Structures are given as structure tokens and as C-alpha cells.
Amino acid sequence: MARKKVRKAEIERKTRETDVRVRLSLDGTGQSRIKTPIGFFNHLLMSFARHGFVDLQLSAKGDIEIDEHHTMEDIGIALGAALNKALGDRKGINRFGYTLIPMDEALARVVVDLSGRPFLVYQARIPRQKRWEFNVNLVEDFFRGLVNNCGMTLHIKLWYGEDYHHSLEAVFKAFGRALAQAVELNPRVRSVASTKGTL
């Protein structure tokens, strides 16, 4: 009897600006322990893990006295590298994932292709508010770091939303669900889902 493939990874990324550690399992139940200095981002990552059925432990320190950019970008880089490592040769996976997720008044669509080719389309215009508690502009930088280090094509579209919390939570939940579809092992995929024979 063939042994089930273990799809786990650990990544550490340490620079003069940040220290990020990621441990994940693609075949989890959505359990997470997230510790970064950016409270709302912790919530978004927990939503991703829960709805992507990824077991995720992630800790990060960074120079947020400057701003959150380096920390969020490096979390994306480390998480993308961990996803890539856990996927291995990508044999047997569905490759594609697609979902629409509502969060109250917000609706987000995410489409994933684990093609090995990094490309990001990010269309999430967040409504203006008088005061930001979270720099929504950095979410695109997070996803760009992730796709470049995972080898993933990712299309994100926020169709509409009035509240930035609801809008971004819909995006991260949708990303989790689309990724869960894409990484799922399909017994009908004998090698890889590509006419090239490799991803």
C-alpha cells in the first residue's frame, strides 16, 4: 500500500528588517497560531488558514516603527516559499481553484492556478475612511511576495464592499477556499494537470 504523501514545510526568513518563521501543513483542519505585531493581519491570516484547511504556525517580528511594509511583504515571501516547498512536485493536485465568498455587504472572488508561473492580478478597491487602523495598501505587497515565491497565478477581485474589515476578510477567506481546491489531491490526475508533463 502506497504511503500518503506528507505535505508539510518549515521556512525561516531573517533579514535586518524582519524575522519570519512559518510552519504549515496542506492537509490540516484549519488550526492556526499566528503572532505578528499587526493585529488585524493576524486575524486575516487565521481566516485564510481556517477556510483553506491549512494548519499554520506563523510568527513574525519586524521594523514596524518605520511601517508595516517590510513585515507584511516578508510574511508573504515566507508563506509563499512554504507553500511551494509543501507542494513538492505538484503531482496529483487539481491545480486550479475558484471561489466567491460574501462577508456581509462585501463579495470577493479569488482564482488560483498552481502553474509554477508567478502572476498576480489584484483588483480590490477598498472604500476610503476617515482613519485607517490598518494599511490596506500593503495587502497587495503581501500577495505579490506570496505568488512570486510559490509559483502561483492568483487573480483577486473585490466585487464590492463598504467596510474594509469585511472586504479584506472576504478576500482572505476566498483565497483559503480557492487554494484548498487547487491543492486537493485528485486520483484522476496521474502525474500533473498539464500537457507539458510538469508544473
Q: Are 161 and 167 in contact (CB under 8 A)?
A: yes
Beta bridge partners of 100: 109
Q: List C-alpha distances in Å: 122 to 25, 131, 167.
A: 26, 23, 13
Is the pLDDT score of 159 beyond 60? Answer: yes
Please report where in the chains the cell 505585531 appears, as a residue: 37
Q: Which helix (H) or strand (E) holds 98?
A: strand 96-103
Distance CA 195, CA 199 (A): 10
Mean pLDDT over all residues of the chain? 92
Mean pLDDT of 61-89: 95
Is the pLDDT score of 1 beyond 60? Answer: no
pLDDT for 53:
97
Q: Where are the alpha helices (DSSP H) in the chain?
A: 39-52, 69-87, 138-150, 164-183
Local confidence band at 167 (pLDDT 50, 70, 90 cut-offs): very high
Local confidence band at 88 (pLDDT 50, 70, 90 cut-offs): very high
Is the pLDDT score of 145 beyond 80? Answer: yes
Q: Residue 114: how many CA atoms within 13 Å on its side-chain side?
A: 29
Is the pLDDT score of 54 beyond 80? Answer: yes
Q: Are 107 and 100 in contact (CB under 8 A)?
A: yes
Q: Are 100 and 109 in contact (CB under 8 A)?
A: yes
Q: Are 22 and 79 in contact (CB under 8 A)?
A: yes
Torsion of CA 59, 121, 161, 97, to 10 degrees: -80
Percentage of the chain beyond pLDDT 70 is 93
pLDDT tens-digit readout, 18-46:
999 999 999 999 999 999 999 999 999 99
Boundaries of every domain in the chain: 8-183
* Residues in CB range of 148: below 8 A, 6 or more apart: 77, 80, 118
Is the pLDDT score of 80 beyond 60? Answer: yes
pLDDT for 2:
44
pLDDT for 64:
87
- The DSSP letter of residue 93 is B
3-state secondary structure (DSSP) of residue 44: helix
Which CATH number is correct for 8-183, 3.40.50.920, 3.30.230.40, 1.10.10.10, 3.30.420.40? 3.30.230.40
Mean pLDDT of 103-115: 97
